[in-house]
A and B are shown apart, each in its own frame.
Chain A
């Protein structure tokens, strides 16, 4: 018998006046796995999470989480879930310990159990030293950790994290990723929303791409990447002036040609068939013409490529400052420019 999903949503719809936030969303998550709900601002990610965590009733469709209907059995369901929203929902006037102890009491743990659980969570999240400081004195990363900790006090079977790393600095982001991976290793089922392709790629077993209130693609990161095609050969020339000459030499190698960007001096060739052979041949030809390369790579398409292809727009339009650091995002921005050019 195949495993039964622990989150199952079918045809969820929700409108706020004229704004149709969700237009029939289906989701399925198997126990112990991580679903990344990936989409730009305003895609409907938060609305979906709010419905699945009983904060909002859907206008249509239905959903079950951990065996409970999100509308009919809302009260019982709340014992099974943990939620950490976009803002660090903690009380700055309480200490870290008091925040967690309060949440424990509100989960209806006994006073002793609530205290024990608060200490455990603080320990696990590296906040023991700050346990008796008011949360208002915490750094942004510490507040997020405390917030994530608060969502775990009740030992939820299903955890919902709505953009858990938005607004964090790179180091805190990486730290939070490690914590989330540990939780998942313990068997917690996780639904995570993110605008960051990199984050979904790193943390999620399966990814649902959501845009304008509908799920437009669903699968593993690999499946999504395969869906838009195979590898790409990227050639960057040392000398921009020689781009036309180089293009003439290598574009003929692939039927249908490739993409040339004069600004970045890049030539991109889609690989159909034998990648290494194409790479060797391209290098041989450029070498014969005496054209020097500054970079060469045979790469799989990134989720950015997938997102761009599926939605027709960039994943983080207008939000470049909040994008995660590292090679992937530098490439994304560079590629965004290239996309505009060609």
Chain B
């Protein structure tokens, strides 16, 4: 058909600044939508906090007494454990990003969002941002639970904030991995199952719960270089202070850089991958 038979309309061109402004606006509208879910179903939040609390209690009271070889400067097992729990909780919590997206795909609401003049990035940004807030809440709760069972920040409030901030950032990076998985698999139960296949070895074969020195030597190689260990040790650097850092032979600056590079690498791979998968679904 020739274009003359059609009504030509002026196509509004928006400036790049305008586009960014709307992208942020749309992302926030959807962040609010995703957070309202926890307001409407508070039990969801309750149940998502029971598991990390159980992990704290399990390791603090069941396994904790038998864990030896703690580096000097760890003060006590609970002080070694809680920073690890922050990282583990944030990573486990991030699996909800993929589950949430798969749910949205299945009820058809993603089709609606896509048919609206809404920024293409908004659905993913809104979901990962909402999950960031959710993770922040859970980490703060873990701090409270930690304080009840003997954990203390040893190195002042600024380092405490940095520790919590890093844990939440790790969760944010994993939200994007989870988003890519959720969009690719699309089935809620499968997404849940698929996430734990790789998350369990990643978090348990690390220094999250125990020092890697107790691992068999072949596993130590993995355990030391596992980014989860690096994040856990960076958090401990913040919560335990210099004595611990000296004992493991690291500097806080070096650990922060390594942690940041790992987070950047994950985001650099999985943000574009998620967006591409999203466009295709």
Which residues does A use to contact B, with CB under 8 Å? 4-6, 8, 10, 50, 53-55, 64, 66-68, 73, 75-76, 78-79, 81-83, 85-94, 98, 102-103, 105-108, 134, 150-151, 154
Contacts and interface: CB of A to CB of B under 8 A. Distances in A.
Interface in B165-206: none
Interface stretch (B80-88, B109-117, B207-215): B109-117
7 contacts: A4-B5, A55-B114, A64-B1, A67-B7, A106-B26, A107-B116, A108-B117
Contacts of B5: 4-5, 8
B117 A55 contact: no
B116 A154 contact: yes
B9 A94 contact: no
A106 B113 contact: yes
B108 to A, nearest CB: 4
B115 A108 contact: no
B9 A89 contact: no
B25 to A, nearest CB: 8
Given A50-B111, A106-B116, 15 more contacts: A10-B1, A55-B111, A67-B7, A76-B117, A78-B115, A78-B117, A79-B117, A83-B115, A85-B111, A91-B33, A105-B25, A106-B26, A106-B118, A107-B117, A154-B116
Contacts of A66: 7, 9
B22 interface: yes
Contacts of B109: 89-91
A-B pairs, top 6 by smallest CB distance, nearest first, are A87-B108, A67-B9, A78-B117, A89-B108, A89-B112, A83-B115
Contact of A68 (B11, B33, B111): B11
Contacts of B22: 108
B115 A81 contact: yes
A94 B35 CA distance: 10
A195 B45 CA distance: 42
A4 B111 contact: no
Interface stretch (B36-44, B134-142, B261-269): B36-44
Q: Chain A interface secondary structure, helix, strand, loop or mixed?
A: loop
B96 to A, nearest CB: 14
B6 A64 contact: yes
Contact of B41 (A53, A83, A93): A93
A308 to B, nearest CB: 31
A67 B8 CA distance: 5
A4 B11 contact: no
Nearest to B120: A75
A204 B234 CA distance: 66
A8 B36 contact: no
B40 A93 contact: yes
A54 B217 CA distance: 55
B36 A93 contact: yes
B253 interface: no
Contacts of A150: 112
A54 to B, nearest CB: 7
Interface string B121-163: 0100000000000000000000000000000000000000000
A215 B5 CA distance: 21
A51 to B, nearest CB: 12
A322 B167 CA distance: 51
B8 A85 contact: no
Nearest to B106: A87
B54 interface: no
A6 B29 CA distance: 31
A134 B115 contact: no
Given A8-B6, A54-B115, A76-B12, A85 B29 contact: no
Given A5-B5, A108-B22, A98 B36 contact: yes
Nearest to B117: A78
A217 to B, nearest CB: 20
